Copies of this chain bind each other. A is one copy, B any other.
């Protein structure tokens, strides 16, 4: 068992797996959209990341959500509920924070189990 890194760059790897646990962080690739669009993009990106390490969205253990404005909480929750398969919701923290680009409305840090 050792460490697997997907697409390591100078600053980060897209996914890092050890001990059958995958770590990855997402911000929306297209940050011109509203909260719903940004959350949906993060989830689409997360599905790609999960697939790259033999996992899927039913195997997410925890998500830390950084949100820039709690006025967007309802949009977040609606997209969230639509995305997670029934019975597979993770542990979840959600706090307000400014993000690296002013256009980002949300950033999510995931820990997931591989298969």
Q: How far is the CB of A54 from chain B (nearest CB, A)?
A: 14
Enumerate A33-62 residues with CB–CB distance to B below 8 Å.
59, 61-62
Contacts of A16 in B (CB 8 A): 61-62, 90-91
**Contact in complex: A90, B21 (CB < 8 Å):** no
Smallest CB separation, A45 vs chain B (Å)? 13
Is B11 a contact partner of A91 (Cβ separation < 8 A)? no
B73 A100 Cβ-Cβ under 8 A = yes
In chain B, what residue has the closest Cβ to A66?
A: B95
Contact B99 A96 (CB under 8 A): yes
Question: With the chains together, A114 CA to B38 CA distance in Å?
Answer: 35
- In the bound complex, do residue A11 and residue B81 qualify as a contact, i.e. CB atoms below 8 Å apart? yes
